[in-house]
Amino acid sequence: MAVLEILEFPDSRLRTEAEPITEVTQATRTLIDDMLETMYAAPGIGLAATQVNVHQRLLVMDVSDDKSEPMVFINPQITVLDPELGEYDEGCLSVPGFYETVSRPQKVEVSALDRNGESFTCQLQGLAAICLQHEVDHLNGKLFVDYLSTLKRQRIRKKLEKDQRQRA
Ligand code: QAP
Ligand code: CO
């Protein structure tokens, strides 16, 4: 297993639209395990393949308190069950150090493939529903900062660009 490098905003590769996975293979399962290790190491509650520069429709998350419930979604399809919006202070491993309030539907159904290529459907609410929508946004090249004002987004971009220059 390996901890992968996470792309950071405003890296243009985070804007790539991911392609569906046509066959779930051993290579897919290795990527899943590396993404879970990367997410737990961060630590984070969700990670999309886009963030590790793999442009396939795959995401992992674990919103449990004791980090004991890894979840894997391949080619996820979301249906909103309750359009009522809930607010949550979201963060992102690709936007380190920033948390901002975003509104999203509170209850969704998701159909996806699991790590064995079997299809499943489940209903999610609360943090799991929010996290799933945040991660599916990544697969579509979208970031939570896109929901903020231009001013806020530019402030975040400038700060992260400075951090990245100092590290380089
Ligand atoms: C997405 O984000 C999410 O800024 C997952 O310095 C987050 O795991 C969805 C993290 C909240 C819904 C609500 C962020 C770690 C982790 C940071 C994460 C940081 C270190 C973010
Ligand atoms: Co994110």
Q: What is the DSSP string of 48-67?
A: EGGGGT--BSEEEE--STTS
Ligand 1 pocket mutation pick from 131, 138, 143, 144 by most atoms within 8 angstroms of CB: 131
**With contact defined as beta carbons under 8 Å apart, do 60 and 39 qualify?**
yes
Query: To which residue do tokens 């980090």 refer?
Result: 67
> Per the structure block, which two tokens stand in for 11?
């890296």
CA dihedral 49, 50, 55, 61 (to 10 degrees): 30
State pLDDT tens for residues 48-93. Answer: 999 999 999 999 999 999 999 999 999 999 999 998 999 999 999 9
Residue having the nearest C-alpha atom to atom 13 of ligand 1: 90
C-beta pairs of 118-124 under 8 Å, 24+ apart in sequence: 123/81
Pocket of ligand 1 (CB under 6 A): 42, 44-46, 88, 90-93, 96-98, 130-131, 134
> Per the structure block, which two tokens stand in for 153?
């987004």
State pLDDT tens for residues 100-116. Answer: 999 999 999 999 999 99
Looking from the CA of residue 95, the nearest atom of ligand 1 is 4
**Mean pLDDT for the chain overall:** 98
Residue having the nearest C-alpha atom to atom 16 of ligand 1: 44
**With contact defined as beta carbons under 8 Å apart, do 78 and 125 qualify?**
no
**With contact defined as beta carbons under 8 Å apart, do 63 and 128 qualify?**
yes
Query: To which residue do tokens 């499943």 refer?
Result: 120
Residue having the nearest C-alpha atom to atom 9 of ligand 1: 131
Q: Please, where are the H alpha helices in 4-149?
A: 26-41, 127-139
> What's the pLDDT score for residue 36?
98
Ligand 1 pocket mutation pick from 45, 59, 133, 142 by most atoms within 8 angstroms of CB: 45
> What's the pLDDT score for residue 98?
98
> What's the pLDDT score for residue 131?
98
> What's the pLDDT score for residue 143?
99
Q: Is 87 exposed, middle or buried (0-12, 13-18, 19+ CB in 10 A)?
A: exposed
